[in-house]
Amino acid sequence: MSLAISIEDLSFGYKDQQRKNFSHLHLHIQKGERFGIFGPNGAGKTTLMNIMTGLLEYESGSVKLLGHEVKNNKKNITKLFGFVPQDFSFYHELSPAENMEFFGAWAGLNKKQIQRKITELLTVLGLEDVRNKPVQKFSGGMKRRINLAIAVMNEPQVLFMDEPTVGVDVQTRNAIIEYLKELNKKGTTLVYTSHQLSEAEQLCERIALIDEGKIVANDTLINLYKEHQQDGLEKLFLELTGKEFRD
Amino acid sequence: MFKLKATILKDIRILLRDKIGLVIMFAMPILLAIVITSVQNSTFELVNENKIPLLVYNKDKGETGKELITALQKIGIFELHQLSGEYSEKDIAEKMHNKDALVAIVVPGDYSAEVLRKAKNVTREALKKLDIGTDSMLIKSSAETPLTLYYHPVLQQSFRNSIDGAIKSSLQLIQSKFIVKNLYQEVNEEAIPDSLETQILSNQTPINEIPVSKDGSRTIPTASQHNVPAWTIFAMFFIVISLGSSIVREKQSGSFTRLRTLPTSFAVALLSKQITYLLVTLMQAIVIFSIGIWLFPKMGLPALNLPADKAALLLVTLICGWCATSFAICIGVFAQTQEQANGIGAVSIVLLAAIGGLLVPSFAMPSSFRYIMQLSPLHWCLEAFYGLFLEGGKLRDILLNILPLLAITILLQLLAVYGLKRKNLI
Cβ neighbourhood burial of A108 (10 Å; 0-12, 13-18, 19+): middle
Residue B36 falls inside a structural domain: yes
DSSP code per residue over B113-179 = HHHHHHHHHHHHHHHTTTT-S--PPPPPPSSPPPPEEEE-TTS-HHHHHHHHHHHHHHHHHHHHHHH
Question: In the prediction, which pLDDT does B425 show?
Answer: 74
Question: In the prediction, which pLDDT does B320 show?
Answer: 96
Residue B399 falls inside a structural domain: yes
Domain match, B234 and B178 both? no
Boundary (domain end) residue, out of B202, B235, B263: B202
Confidence of residue B366 (pLDDT cuts 50, 70, 90): confident
Residue B216 falls inside a structural domain: no
Residues of A in contact with B263 (CB under 8 A): 75-76, 78-79, 106-108
Tell whether the model's pLDDT for residue B360 goes beyond 80: no
8 Å CB contact between A206 and A220:
yes
Residue B215 falls inside a structural domain: no
Residue B214 falls inside a structural domain: no
Domain match, B74 and B38 both? no
- What does the CA dihedral B414, B418, B424, B426 come to, rounded to 10 degrees? 20
Give the residue-averaged pLDDT of B68-74.
Answer: 85
Confidence of residue B280 (pLDDT cuts 50, 70, 90): very high
Sign of the dihedral defined by the CA atoms of residues B373, B377, B380, B381, in that order: negative
Find, in chain B, the residue whose alpha carbon is nearest to that of A57.
Answer: B424
8 Å CB contact between B282 and B318:
yes
Residue B208 falls inside a structural domain: no
- Cβ contact B9–A101 (<8 Å): yes
Domain match, B138 and B271 both? no
Domain match, B235 and B370 both? yes
**Residue (of B288, B322, B282) closest to B402 by Cα position:** B322
Annotate B36-51 with b (16+ C-beta within 10 A) or e (fewer): bbbebbeeeeeeeeee
Tell whether the model's pLDDT for residue B46 goes beyond 90: no
Residue B217 falls inside a structural domain: no
The CATH number assigned to the domain holding B185 equals 3.40.1710
- Cβ contact B2–A105 (<8 Å): yes
Residues of A in contact with B272 (CB under 8 A): none
Question: In the prediction, which pLDDT does B88 show?
Answer: 81
Q: Which residues contact B228 (CB under 8 A, 6 or more apart)?
A: B33, B37, B288, B289, B291, B292, B304, B389
For residue B6, give how far its alpha carbon lies from the nearest alpha carbon of chain A (Å): 6
Query: Is any Cβ of chain B less than 8 angstroms from the Cβ of A195?
Result: no
Domain match, B241 and B367 both? yes
Number of residue pairs across A and B with CB atoms under 8 Å?
Answer: 81
Residues of B in contact with A91 (CB under 8 A): 10, 14, 250, 253, 255
Q: Which residues contact B306 (CB under 8 A, 6 or more apart)?
A: B289, B293, B313, B389
Tell whether the model's pLDDT for residue B378 goes beyond 90: yes
- Cβ contact B259–A79 (<8 Å): no
User: Beta strand A214-220 with A206-211: parallel, antiparallel or unpaired?
Assistant: antiparallel
Tell whether the model's pLDDT for residue B359 goes beyond 70: yes
- Cβ contact B261–A98 (<8 Å): no
Tell whether the model's pLDDT for residue B399 goes beyond 60: yes
Tell whether the model's pLDDT for residue B382 goes beyond 60: yes
Question: In the prediction, which pLDDT does A160 show?
Answer: 94
Please give the angle made by the CA atoms of B226, B230 and B235, to the nearest 5 degrees.
Answer: 150
Question: In the prediction, which pLDDT does B226 show?
Answer: 84
User: What amino acid occupies position B417?
Assistant: V
Confidence of residue B276 (pLDDT cuts 50, 70, 90): very high
- Cβ contact B6–A94 (<8 Å): no
Query: Is any Cβ of chain A less than 8 angstroms from the Cβ of B255?
Result: yes
Average pLDDT of every residue of chain B = 84
Q: What's the number of CA atoms in the CB half-sphere (13 Å) around residue B389? A: 27
* Dihedral pair phi/psi, residue B5, rounded to 5°: -60, -45
SS3 B87: coil
Residue of A93, A112, A152 to mutate, interface with B, max B Cβ within 10 Å: A93
Domain match, B95 and B157 both? yes
pLDDT in tens, B59-70: 888 888 888 888
From residue B398, give the alpha-carbon distance in Å to each of B232, B316, B327: 18, 9, 22
- Cβ contact A103–B262 (<8 Å): yes
Question: In the prediction, which pLDDT does A1 show?
Answer: 57
Strands (E), A13-157: 22-30, 34-38, 60-65, 68-69, 81-84
- Cβ contact A53–B261 (<8 Å): yes
Query: Is any Cβ of chain B less than 8 angstroms from the Cβ of A13?
Result: no
Question: In the prediction, which pLDDT does B44 show?
Answer: 62
pLDDT in tens, B212-251: 666 666 566 777 888 889 889 998 999 998 899 889 988 8
Domain match, B114 and B182 both? yes
pLDDT in tens, B161-195: 888 888 888 888 888 888 888 888 888 878 888 88
- Cβ contact B2–A98 (<8 Å): no
Find, in chain A, the residue whose alpha carbon is nearest to that of B263.
Answer: A78
**Residue (of A126, A85, A66) closest to B261 by Cα position:** A85
Residues of A in contact with B18 (CB under 8 A): 93
Q: For chain A, what is the radius of gyration of the CA atoms?
A: 18
The helix (run of H) or strand (run of E) holding residue A211 is: strand A206-211
Question: In the prediction, which pLDDT does B112 show?
Answer: 87
Residue of B258, B266, B268, B271 to mutate, interface with A, max A Cβ within 10 Å: B258
Residue B23 falls inside a structural domain: yes
Find, in chain A, the residue whose alpha carbon is nearest to that of B254.
Answer: A89
Domain match, B332 and B388 both? yes
Q: How many domains does chain B have?
A: 2
Confidence of residue B137 (pLDDT cuts 50, 70, 90): low
pLDDT in tens, B295-318: 988 988 888 888 888 999 999 999
Domain match, B25 and B105 both? no
Question: In the prediction, which pLDDT does B132 show?
Answer: 61
Question: In the prediction, which pLDDT does B6 show?
Answer: 95
- Cβ contact A85–B14 (<8 Å): no
Domain match, B157 and B293 both? no
Helices (H), A21-139: 45-52, 74-77, 96-106, 111-124
The pairs formed by A177-181 with CB atoms below 8 angstroms and a separation of 24 or more are A177/A202, A177/A203, A179/A124, A179/A125, A179/A148, A180/A34, A181/A34
- Cβ contact A106–B2 (<8 Å): no
- Cβ contact B261–A54 (<8 Å): yes
Q: What is the pLDDT along chain A (247 residues), one digit of tens a residue?
A: 589 999 998 888 887 777 777 888 899 999 999 999 988 887 788 889 999 999 888 888 999 999 999 988 888 888 899 999 988 999 999 999 999 999 999 998 999 999 999 999 998 888 888 999 999 989 888 999 999 999 999 899 999 998 888 877 888 888 888 888 999 999 999 998 887 777 778 888 898 888 888 888 888 888 887 877 777 777 777 777 766 666 6
Instruction: Identify the structural domains of chain A with CATH numbers, from first to last.
Output: 34-55+78-241 (3.40.50.300)
Question: In the prediction, which pLDDT does B213 show?
Answer: 64
Structural domain boundaries, residue B251:
2-43+227-422
User: What amino acid occupies position B270?
Assistant: L
Which of A:111-170 have CB within 8 Å of B? Answer: 111, 134, 150
8 Å CB contact between A39 and A196:
no
Boundary (domain end) residue, out of B202, B219, B253: B202
The helix (run of H) or strand (run of E) holding residue A159 is: strand A158-162
Residues of A in contact with B9 (CB under 8 A): 101-102
Q: How far apart are CA A120 and CA A99, in angstroms?
A: 15
Tell whether the model's pLDDT for residue B12 goes beyond 90: yes
Q: Could you say which of A79, A92, A106 has the minimum Cβ distance to residue B259?
A: A106
Cβ neighbourhood burial of A90 (10 Å; 0-12, 13-18, 19+): buried
Domain match, B239 and B103 both? no
Residues of A in contact with B261 (CB under 8 A): 53-55, 78, 81, 83
For residue B40, give how far its alpha carbon lies from the nearest alpha carbon of chain A (Å): 41
Domain match, B82 and B184 both? yes
- Cβ contact B253–A92 (<8 Å): yes
Residue of A89, A136, A138, A150 to mutate, interface with B, max B Cβ within 10 Å: A89
Tell whether the model's pLDDT for residue B135 goes beyond 60: no
Question: In the prediction, which pLDDT does B43 show?
Answer: 66
